[in-house]
Amino acid sequence: MRRIESHIDTNAADYKANFAAMSERLKEFHARQHAARFERPQRDIDRLARQNKLGVRERLKLLLDPGTPFLEFSTLAACREYDGAVPGAAVVTGIGIVQGREVAIHANDASVKGGAWYPHTVKKIVRLLDVALENRLPVVHICDSAGGFLPLQHGVFPDRYLGGRVFRNQVKLSQANIPQIAIVGGHCTAGGAYVPTLSDYNIIIEGTGAIFLGGPPLVKAATGEEVSVQELGGAVMHTSVSGTGDYRAATEQHAFALAREIVSQWKRMPKTIIETAAHEEPYYDPKELYGIIPKDRKTQFDMREVLARIVDGSRFHEYQPDYGTTMICGFAHIWGFKVGILANNGVLFNDSSLKAAHFMQLCNQNRTPLVFFQNITGYMVGREYEERGIAKDGAKMLMAQGGSVVPKFTVIANASYGAGNYGMCGRAWDARTLFMWPQAEIGVMGADQAANTMADVKIRQLEREGKQLTEVEIAAIRDPVLEKFRRDVEAYTSTSELWDDGILDPADTRNALGMSISAALNAPIDDPHYGIFRL
Amino acid sequence: MTISKLLVANRGEIAARVLRTAKARGLATAVLRHVAEQEGPAHLIADEVVMIDGPTPVAAYLDISQIVAAARKIGANAVHPGYGFLSENAGFVAALEEAGVTFVGPTSEVIDLMGDKVRARAFVEARGFPIAPSAIEDDDPTTFVERARTLGYPLLIKPSAGGGGKGMRIVREDSTLKTEIETARREGQRYFGDGRLFVERYIERPRHIEVQVMGDGQGNVVHFWERECSIQRRFQKIIEETPSPALSPEQRLEICETAAGIARAVNYRGAGTVEFIYAQDGAFYFLEMNTRLQVEHPVTEMVTGFDLVAEQLRIAAGEGLSAAQSDIRQTGHSIELRICAEDATADFRPAIGDILLLDEPQGEGVRVDSGILDGGKVTTDFDPMLSKLIVHGADRAQAIARARNAVQNYVILGVTTNTGYLDAILAHPDFASGDVSTGFLAEQADVLTAPGEDVSTLLMAAAALSDQRLVTDVMQIPEMHRKMGGWRN
Amino acid sequence: MRRIFMIAGHEAECWLTHDGSRFVLNMPDGAVPCQLDPTGAPGAHVLRTGGRAHELRLAVGSESTFIHLNGRTFEVGRVDPDDRLAGREGAAGGDRLLAPMPGVVVSVAVKPGDTVTEGQPLLVIESMKLETTLTAPRDGVVAEMPFTAGDSFGLKAVLAQLTPQED
User: Distance, in angstroms, between B3 CA and closest chain C CA?
Assistant: 37
Residues B243 and B340 in one domain: yes
Query: B372 pLDDT band (50/70/90 cuts)?
Result: very high
Residue C59: φ, ψ to 5°:
-140, 135
Which chain A residue has the Cα nearest residue C88? A254
Q: Which residues make Cβ contacts (< 8 Å) with residue A344, sequence separation at least 6?
A: A303, A326, A327, A328, A373, A374, A375, A376, A420, A424
What contacts B60, CB < 8 A, 6 or more positions away?
A: B32, B34, B52, B53, B54, B66
Contacts of A102 in chain B (CB under 8 A): 478, 481
Query: Does residue B412 sit at the C interface (CB-CB below 8 Å)?
Result: yes
Q: What angle do CA C123, C125, C131 make, to 5 degrees?
A: 115
Interface test with A, best of B471, B476, B479, B480 (most A CBs within 10 A): B480
Task: Say whether both B156 and B194 belong to one domain.
Answer: yes
Contacts of A518 in chain B (CB under 8 A): 478, 480-481
Claim to verify: residue C6 and residue C74 sit in the same structural domain: yes
Is the minimum CB–CB distance between A66 and chain B shorter than 8 Å? yes
d(CA B416, CA B102): 39
Instruction: Please give the average per-residue pLDDT across B327-339, as a whole number.
Output: 98
* Contact criterion met (CB < 8 Å) for A66 and C88: no
Q: Determine the residue type at A32.
A: R
- How many angstroms away from the CA of C165 is the closest CA of chain B? 32
CATH of the domain at B406: 3.30.470.20
Rounded distance, CA A195 to CA A171, Å? 10
- Do C10 and C75 belong together in one domain? yes
Q: Do you know the residue count of chain A?
A: 535
Nearest-Cα residue of chain A relative to residue C89: A250
Out of A66, A257, A261, the one facing C15 most closely (by C-beta) is A66
- CB–CB of B349 and C45 under 8 A? no
Cβ <8 Å between B481 and A502 = no
Q: How far is C83 from chain A (nearest CA, A)?
A: 7
- Residue B141 scores a pLDDT above 80: no
B235 and B146 within one domain: no
Test B380 with C32 for CB contact under 8 angstroms.
no
Residue A473: CB partners within 8 Å, gap ≥ 6?
A: none
Tell me the pairing of strands A317-319 and A327-334.
antiparallel
H/E element holding C150? none
Q: Which of B477, B480, B487 sits opposite A279 (nearest CB)?
A: B480
In this structure, is residue C167 part of a structural domain?
Answer: no
Claim to verify: residue C43 and residue C69 sit in the same structural domain: yes
Hey, is the C-beta of A253 within 8 angstroms of any chain C C-beta? yes
Residues C80, C109 within the same domain = no
Q: Which of C32, C63, C84 is the last residue of a domain?
A: C84
How far apart are the C-alpha atoms of A431 and A401, rounded to whole Å? Answer: 10
Phi, psi of C91 (to 5 degrees): -70, 140
Question: A280 by DSSP, 3-state: which?
Answer: coil
Whether residue C77 sits in one domain with residue C10: yes
- The boundaries of the domain holding residue B419 are 207-448
The three-state DSSP-derived secondary structure of A19-65 is HHHHHHHHHHHHHHHHHHHHCCCHHHHHHHHHCCCCCHHHHHHHHCC
Same domain? C59 vs C123: no
- Mean of the pLDDT values across residues B180-196? 81
Q: Please tell me the total number of residues recorded for chain C in this structure.
A: 167
Query: What phi, psi does A465 have (nearest 5°)?
Result: -80, 5
Q: Using an 8 Å Cβ cutoff, are A93 and A105 in contact?
A: yes
Query: Under a CB-based contact definition with an 8 Å cutoff, are residues A328 and A336 in contact?
Result: no
Which candidate from B478, B482, B489 shows the least CB-CB separation from A71? B489
Answer yes or no: are the C-beta atoms of A451 and A475 closer than 8 Å.
no
Residue B290 lies in a domain: yes
Residues B273-289 have pLDDT tens digits of 999 999 988 999 999 99
> Half-sphere exposure (CA, 13 Å, Cβ side) for C160?
30
Count: domains in chain C: 2
Residue B49: per-residue pLDDT = 97
Instruction: Determine whether the interchain pair C85/A254 forms a contact, defined as Cβ–Cβ distance below 8 Å.
Output: yes
Contact B484 A511 (CB under 8 A): yes
Structural domain boundaries of chain A? 1-36+271-438+503-535, 40-263, 445-489
Closest chain A residue to the Cα of C90, Cα to Cα? A250
Lowest mean pLDDT among B138-152, B207-221, B334-348, C52-66: B138-152
Same domain, C73 and C127: no
Mean pLDDT computed over every residue of chain A: 95
- Is the pLDDT score of B33 beyond 80? yes
Segments forming the whole domain that contains residue C123: 93-162
Which residues from chain C sit within 8 angstroms of residue B351, using beta carbons?
102
- Same domain? B197 vs B211: no
- Domain containing B41 — which CATH number? 3.40.50.20
Q: What are the angstrom distances between the C-alpha of A55 and each of A29, A181, A223, B353?
A: 23, 19, 35, 43
Name the 3-class secondary structure at A414: strand
A235: left (phi over 0), alpha (psi -120 to 50) or beta: alpha
Residue B27 lies in a domain: yes
Q: Which of B55-69, B107-121, B126-140 has the lowest mean pLDDT?
A: B126-140
Q: List the chains bordering chain A where 3 or more Cβ pairs fall under 8 Å.
A: B, C
| Residues facing residue C30 across a β-bridge | C27
Taking CB atoms and an 8 Å cutoff, what residues of chain B touch C102?
349-352, 380
Q: Is domain A1-36+271-438+503-535 given the CATH code 3.90.226.10 in the classification? A: yes
Q: Which among A58, A82, A86 has a CA at the least distance from the CA of A74?
A: A86
pLDDT bin (cut points 50, 70, 90) of residue B164 is: low
A508 contacts on B by Cβ (under 8 Å): 487, 489
Instruction: Tell me the nearest-neighbour CA distance from C76 into chain B, angstroms.
Output: 7
Do residues C109 and C76 share a domain? Answer: no
Side-chain-side CA neighbours of B333 within 13 Å: the count stands at 19
Is the same domain home to B160 and B213? no
**Do residues B237 and B290 share a domain?**
yes
- Residue A511 main-chain phi, psi, to 5 deg: -70, -40
- Shortest CA distance to A259 belongs to which of A207, A203, A180, A193? A203
Residue A27, amino acid: K
**What chain B residue is nearest to C44 in terms of C-alpha separation?**
B357
Report yes or no: B128 at the C interface, CB cutoff 8 Å: no
- Residues C8-32 as b or e (16 or more Cβ within 10 Å = b): eeeebebbbbbeeeebbbbbeeeeb
Q: Say which CATH number the domain at C114 has.
A: 2.40.50.100
Which segments in chain C show pLDDT lower than 50?
89-93, 167
- Of A430-439, B135-144, B150-159, B184-193, the poorest mean pLDDT is in B135-144
Contacts of A327 (CB under 8 A, 6+ apart): A342, A343, A344, A345, A348, A352, A353, A355, A356
CATH number at residue C43: 3.30.700.30
Other C-beta atoms within 10 Å of A11: how many? Answer: 7
Nearest CA in chain B to A99: B473
| Ranges A371-385, B93-107, B234-248, C99-113: which has the least confidence | C99-113
CB B486 within 8 A of CB A67: yes
Cβ(C101)–Cβ(C156) below 8 Å: no
Which residue among B180, B201, B222 closes a domain? B201
Contacts across the A-C interface (CB distance below 8 Å):
32
Query: Number of structural domains, chain B?
Result: 3
End-to-end CA distance of chain A: 33
- The CA-based angle B309-B312-B317, given to 5 degrees, is 130
Amino acid at C94: G
Task: Examine the pLDDT at B165 and tell me if it is beyond 80.
Answer: no
Nearest CA in chain B to C2: B470
Q: Which of residues 201-240 of B touch C (CB under 8 A)?
A: 234
Gyration radius from chain B CA atoms: 24
Q: Does A56 touch chain B (CB under 8 A)?
A: no
Residue B480 in this model has a pLDDT that exceeds 50: yes
Using CB atoms, which residue from C1, C20, C86 is nearest to A257? C86
Mean pLDDT of B210-219: 95
Domain boundary among C49, C64, C84: C84
Q: From the CA of B473, how many Å to the nearest CA of chain A?
A: 7
Q: Is residue B111 part of a domain?
A: no
**Cβ atoms within 10 A of the Cβ of B330, count?**
17
Q: Is A279 on the interface with B (CB under 8 A)?
A: yes
CB distance B356–C59 less than 8 Å? Answer: yes
Last residue of a domain, one of C84, C102, C126: C84
Are B80 and B145 contained in the same domain? no
Q: Does the beta-carbon distance from A261 to C86 stay under 8 Å?
A: yes
pLDDT, one tens digit per residue, over A507-520 is 999 999 999 999 99
Give the nearest partner residue to A72 out of B476, B480, B489, using CB atoms: B489
The helix (H) or strand (E) run that includes residue C78 is: strand C72-79
Chain B residues within 8 A of C129 when measuring between CB atoms: 165-166, 234
Distance from CA of C158 to the nearest CA of A (A): 23
Query: Which chain C residues contact residue B356 at CB under 8 A?
Result: 43, 59-61, 66
Mean pLDDT, consecutive 10-residue stretches, chain A (535 aa), reads: 95 97 98 97 93 95 95 98 96 97 97 94 98 98 92 91 96 97 93 94 94 90 89 90 92 92 93 96 98 92 98 98 97 98 96 98 97 96 94 97 98 95 97 98 87 85 86 87 92 97 98 98 96 94
List the single best residue of B459, B470, B472 to mutate versus C (max C Cβ within 10 A).
Answer: B459
B454 CB neighbour count, 10 Å cutoff: 10
Please provide residue A434's backbone torsions phi and psi, each rounded to the nearest 5 degrees.
Answer: -140, 120
Q: Which of C19, C41, C61 sits opposite B356 (nearest CB)?
A: C61
Are residues B38 and B15 part of one domain? yes
Asked whether residue B268 falls in the same domain as residue B195, the answer is no
The shortest C-alpha distance from B475 to chain A (Å) reads: 8
C56 domain-assigned: yes
CB contact under 8 A, B482 and A502: no
Distance from CA of C41 to the nearest CA of B (A): 10
pLDDT given at position C89: 43
Q: Which residues contact A172 (CB under 8 A, 6 or more apart)?
A: A133
Is B301 found in the same domain as B189? no
What angle, 0 to 180 degrees and rounded to 10, lies between the N-to-C axes of helices B456-465 and B468-475? 70
A40-263, which class in CATH?
A: alpha beta
